Chain A
């Protein structure tokens, strides 16, 4: 099993983690990949970070009870290393002046104090860092680099480093993949710094470890936030990028086996921007999806060898534009499976739970008895059992998150919808045990995937009814909810 450790740094890094986790659940990284996940951000309340952590949690819950051998959905395990806050040790002192003990520093060395004055503006010194580094890499670098003093001995780092070293000892070739923007604050300061420090920390096994990174160049734009004096400014993005790329090339480049730069000529505009905190919860973007797809790219091969990757149409993203061998196929199948689940199978299963006679239900749903027991004592899973109910709820929760994420991607950076036509749908989680009345039954998948045309003899795949019929025609190795969703995924 391949071991991949993804580390998302900052808000954009967290958003890439969200994409990476969804790709892993959808089987895009392959069946034999174990994904370790760590998010790094100084802003614990950041909306992007919270969304990513919720996604990881959904995926863990669903994967924990839906994982099976030799299936596509949730086949690869996910290990959550949690969250690391570079300000962790300074949580009671949240300005740069506090962290560097400005008063003491000036008292000990007046020259050092003057240098500090040169490098850090008065506003930056007093800015509250609990909402992140405010798009200022200089602040971020000053904070993140202090991790070297702890030698990765705090938070989730010892666990992560131990696992990587254990993988190497077992003869595996683990990969550490970092995500982060290079134009903001946390990512541009944290990504090169952490990459370099990890490379040094793993010096003993460095040859057996691949360290790669998806570095996101400016791909969004926003107006000046109205909430703070010190804020991330889009006008600084180019300057920040230039400086960070120079740093990467000259000082940190050797620490990485491969760095993937991802950007977009047309910047997505975020409305209602926020410098940090819960309000900074920007919609997911296809750029993050491309960055996440780089995890499966072989370093030094094809687009992993510094090749330019460009989209076939300037205005929209197409399925062919997604890098990676199985990315498009897996995502399409996962999308169609989740759609069929959300607008059909979920309510069907909930409806079946309400039927006293399961045989009576199976008469109108011939697929049902291929996966679930009727009232006849067969050894198939009982749809009303607690285990199956949990699986239904867990998959539904993940699929809602997946669809919300994909809906955001479909709208990102484009004047018109791309990849999938799901603009008019509302995807929201449902807690009840009965059918969700807000979900209207759908039957056709024909117009769901933009640009996908099936051969005439394959047209049946566009009908949920015919897909269910296909499932009804034969027995399946896997039964229950796991069998239902995985077999649907395989034929969809």
Chain B
């Protein structure tokens, strides 16, 4: 029963993460001025495909961590705690892949829109919100789609390795 609670919370965290990336962030981009010329088209043609790819990548990194925690046998506490390095690496890779995905989509996707005067002048104008806004968003993505689910879904001895997972788990399960 206790284990099931963890899994439910992990599932909720994943759902929340996807909801955040695909809906909430999209909503913010479309409804709040982020310096975009056509926020709706940008959101639909650049952000959403990039967000979908990033979500899949986050889930892949998350699954890789969960699988690792499932098969990893640790002889002692110190050996278990050393795996925090791997967790941080995976988190870093997940967030980096999110940023790379966003950068690639921004730079290599042409928005199908009404003709812009810029085309006539030969100037290629990249319509994108500033990176100082986008990068913090990817950090939030990483927290919601990797850190939070990994707190609840890490297995066996490594169940409390993600930072604050012990504290989060003890909220739902009195030990």
Give A contacts to B, CB under 8 Å.
Answer: 344, 347-348, 351-352, 359, 361-366, 368-370, 441-443, 463-466, 468-469, 472-475
Instruction: Say yes or no: A363-B73 contact (C-beta < 8 A), given A351-B78, A465-B156.
Output: no
Do residues A473 and B75 form an inter-chain contact, with CB atoms below 8 A? no
Alpha-carbon distance A473/B73, docked complex (angstroms): 16
Do residues A466 and B161 form an inter-chain contact, with CB atoms below 8 A? no
Instruction: Say yes or no: A364-B3 contact (C-beta < 8 A), given A344-B75, A465-B75, A466-B156.
Output: no
Do residues A365 and B77 form an inter-chain contact, with CB atoms below 8 A? yes
Cβ distance B104 to chain A, nearest Cβ, rounded Å = 37
Alpha-carbon distance A491/B166, docked complex (angstroms): 25
Do residues B73 and A443 form an inter-chain contact, with CB atoms below 8 A? yes
Alpha-carbon distance A347/B77, docked complex (angstroms): 10
Do residues B161 and A364 form an inter-chain contact, with CB atoms below 8 A? yes
Q: Which of A344, A351, A473 contacts B2 (CB 8 A)?
A: A473
Residues of A within 8 A of B77 (CB): 348, 351-352, 361, 364-365, 368
Do residues B161 and A363 form an inter-chain contact, with CB atoms below 8 A? yes
Q: Is the interface of B mostly helix, strand, loop or mixed?
A: helix
Residues of B within 8 A of A472 (CB): 157, 159
Residues of A within 8 A of B79 (CB): 364, 441
Alpha-carbon distance A365/B159, docked complex (angstroms): 9
Interface: B81 (CB within 8 A):
yes
Residues of A within 8 A of B80 (CB): 363-365
Most buried by B among A347, A364, A469: A364
Residues of B within 8 A of A364 (CB): 74, 76-81, 157, 160-161
Do residues A469 and B157 form an inter-chain contact, with CB atoms below 8 A? yes
Alpha-carbon distance A466/B157, docked complex (angstroms): 8
Cβ distance B2 to chain A, nearest Cβ, rounded Å = 7
Q: Which of B78, B157, B161, B175 contacts A468 (CB 8 A)?
A: B157
Instruction: Say yes or no: A443-B175 contact (C-beta < 8 A), given A363-B160, A469-B156, A469-B157.
Output: no
Do residues B157 and A363 form an inter-chain contact, with CB atoms below 8 A? no
Interface residues of B in 121-175 (CB under 8 A from A): 156-157, 159-161, 165-166, 175
Which residue of the partner chain B has the closest CB to A367?
B157
Which residue of the partner chain A has the closest CB to B162?
A363
Do residues B3 and A473 form an inter-chain contact, with CB atoms below 8 A? yes
Q: Which of A359, A443, A464 contacts B166 (CB 8 A)?
A: A359
Tally chain B residues at the interface, Cβ within 8 Å. Answer: 19
Cβ distance B125 to chain A, nearest Cβ, rounded Å = 50
Instruction: Say yes or no: A362-B157 contact (C-beta < 8 A), given A348-B76, A441-B76.
Output: no
A-contact 0/1 string along B14-49, CB 8 Å cutoff = 000000000000000000000000000000000000
Residues of B within 8 A of A347 (CB): 76
Cβ distance A359 to chain B, nearest Cβ, rounded Å = 7
Give B contacts to A, CB under 8 Å.
Answer: 2-3, 73-81, 156-157, 159-161, 165-166, 175
Do residues B76 and A362 form an inter-chain contact, with CB atoms below 8 A? no
Alpha-carbon distance A361/B78, docked complex (angstroms): 8
Do residues B160 and A362 form an inter-chain contact, with CB atoms below 8 A? yes
Residues of A within 8 A of B160 (CB): 362-364, 366
A-B pairs with beta carbons under 8 Å apart, 20 shown: A351-B76, A352-B77, A361-B77, A362-B166, A363-B160, A363-B165, A364-B74, A364-B77, A364-B81, A364-B160, A364-B161, A365-B80, A365-B157, A441-B79, A442-B75, A443-B73, A443-B74, A465-B156, A468-B157, A469-B156
Known contacts A344-B75, A468-B157; 16 additional CB pairs below 8 A are A344-B76, A348-B76, A352-B77, A359-B166, A363-B80, A364-B81, A364-B160, A365-B76, A366-B157, A370-B175, A442-B75, A443-B75, A463-B73, A465-B157, A466-B73, A472-B159
Residues of A within 8 A of B78 (CB): 351, 364
Residues of B within 8 A of A441 (CB): 75-76, 79
Closest A-B pairs by Cβ, 10 of them? A364-B77, A364-B80, A364-B81, A441-B75, A365-B77, A465-B73, A363-B160, A469-B156, A443-B75, A363-B166
Alpha-carbon distance A283/B151, docked complex (angstroms): 52
Alpha-carbon distance A194/B150, docked complex (angstroms): 69
Alpha-carbon distance A474/B3, docked complex (angstroms): 10
Instruction: Say yes or no: A465-B74 contact (C-beta < 8 A), given A366-B159, A369-B175.
Output: yes
Which residue of the partner chain B has the closest CB to A361?
B77
Alpha-carbon distance A37/B3, docked complex (angstroms): 48
Residues of A within 8 A of B157 (CB): 364-366, 465, 468-469, 472
Residues of A within 8 A of B74 (CB): 364, 443, 465
Which residue of the partner chain A has the closest CB to B161?
A363
Alpha-carbon distance A362/B175, docked complex (angstroms): 11
Alpha-carbon distance A364/B72, docked complex (angstroms): 13
Alpha-carbon distance A464/B78, docked complex (angstroms): 15
Which residue of the partner chain A has the closest CB to B175?
A369
Which residue of the partner chain B has the closest CB to A376?
B170
Which residue of the partner chain A has the closest CB to B82?
A364
Alpha-carbon distance A473/B3, docked complex (angstroms): 8
Cβ distance A379 to chain B, nearest Cβ, rounded Å = 13
Alpha-carbon distance A469/B157, docked complex (angstroms): 6
Cβ distance A368 to chain B, nearest Cβ, rounded Å = 8
Residues of A within 8 A of B156 (CB): 465-466, 469
Alpha-carbon distance A362/B75, docked complex (angstroms): 14
Alpha-carbon distance A340/B115, docked complex (angstroms): 74
Most buried by B among A363, A469, A474: A363
Residues of B within 8 A of A463 (CB): 73
Which residue of the partner chain A has the closest CB to B160?
A363
Alpha-carbon distance A418/B165, docked complex (angstroms): 45
Alpha-carbon distance A351/B77, docked complex (angstroms): 9
